Structure formats: C-alpha cells, structure tokens
C-alpha cells in the first residue's frame, strides 16, 4: 500500500464525528513522508437534488439558515439544492426521494445523475451525490422541513433566466448549487427537447 495509518482516535462525537490520525504516505520522489497528524471531520455521505421543470423552464431551490455562512456577504440564509445525509442502509436515490418530500413536498418524475464528488478532502470524508430532479414546478413553493430536526426551509421556484442571473451575481454560492447549476446550463436545452 501507498499509505500507512499508524493510529486513529476519536476526538469528538456529537452530531458529527472528528477523528485524529497519524498517517504516513509514499512520496513522489521515493521514500515515505514523516508521520503526519491530521484531523478528519467525519460527516458521512450526502445527496443533493436540483429541481428543474423543463416544460416551464423553472428551477427549484431551498433557502435556510446556515451557521457556517454567518460571515457570508449575503448573510446566513443560504440558497441551496435540496439535500440530506445518507444512512448506512440507504442508496442515494432513496435519500433523494425522502429529502424531496421533507424539504419541498414534491415527488419527481425522473432523477438524472449529475455527478458525485468529495466535498472537501483536506479535512472531511463527505461524498456528495448530485442529481437533477425533473418535475412540473408550476404553483410549487412554500415552507417545509422536519420540526423534529429544527428545519425551517423555504422552497423557492425561480424562472430559469432569473435563477441564472442570481447565480452569476454570487447569490447561490454553495458547491452543490454551483456544480448543479453549471451542469444545468450545459444540459437544459437537451432536457427541454426530451420533455
């Protein structure tokens, strides 16, 4: 193997988990690195869904309070794709369907895979599975979320052109929203033809 984990310990376990490991890895110029002490935020895998209505050319996003965005220039209420964490016994499509109902009260006609990516490998193990959910967004929107999880989620439906203008102005600045909206820019014409 090209790496060795010398030790691992849990340094925090709450809503999330943080571990500290001592690792060594092979060097490009040969030999081994010195022992490196690294903390890893163990969040687990997640699923995100950008909603798109190809007939009416509408985009669905949610808005909610996010502590990590307290210092963001747009404030802590962030526009995002619908998303949720995966349990060990779920596949990404199951999570997508559950979260669509919880956060927007919708079922999609079709889930189109966009990609999956590692969110921030410098310090987290989270993998994000991204989809585009196709459905009729006419008359949709409202307040959703699970009270037991402290969720207060506002579901917005935007005309495509307005959503892309807001995106270009930096209003949608999470990685998942950025990736999925760039994907939609490249694929919306084909999705509209297929519908």
**Catalytic site residues?**
149
Cα dihedral 113, 118, 119, 125, rounded to 10, equals 130
Q: Looking at the DSSP assignment, which residues form a beta bridge with residue 37?
A: 22
Q: Which residues contact 105 (CB under 8 A, 6 or more apart)?
A: 140, 142, 144, 155
Return the half-sphere exposure (C-beta side, CA atoms, 13 A cut-off) of residue 31.
4
Q: Which residues pair with 53 in a beta bridge?
A: 58
SS3 state of residue 22: strand
Count CB atoms within 10 A of the CB of residue 107: 10
- Tokens standing for 36? 């490196």
């Amino acid at each position: 193997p090209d790496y060795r984990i010398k030790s691992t310990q849990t340094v925090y376990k709450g809503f999330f988990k943080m571990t500290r490991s001592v690792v060594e890895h092979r060097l490009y110029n040969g030999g081994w690195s010195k022992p490196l002490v690294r903390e890893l935020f163990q969040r687990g895998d997640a699923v995100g869904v950008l909603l798109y209505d190809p007939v009416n050319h509408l985009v669905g996003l949610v808005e909610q309070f996010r502590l990590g965005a307290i210092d963001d220039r747009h404030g802590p209420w962030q526009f995002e794709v619908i998303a949720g964490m995966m349990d060990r016994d779920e596949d990404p499509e199951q999570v997508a369907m559950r979260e669509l109902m919880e956060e927007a009260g919708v079922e999609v006609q079709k889930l189109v895979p966009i990609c999956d990516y590692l969110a921030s490998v410098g310090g987290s193990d989270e993998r994000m599975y991204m989809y585009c959910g196709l459905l009729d967004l006419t008359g949709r929107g409202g307040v959703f979320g699970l009270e037991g999880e402290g969720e207060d989620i506002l579901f917005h439906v935007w005309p495509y052109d307005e959503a892309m203008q807001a995106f270009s102005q930096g209003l949608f600045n999470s990685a998942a929203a950025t990736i999925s909206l760039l994907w939609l820019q490249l694929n919306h014409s084909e999705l509209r033809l297929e519908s």
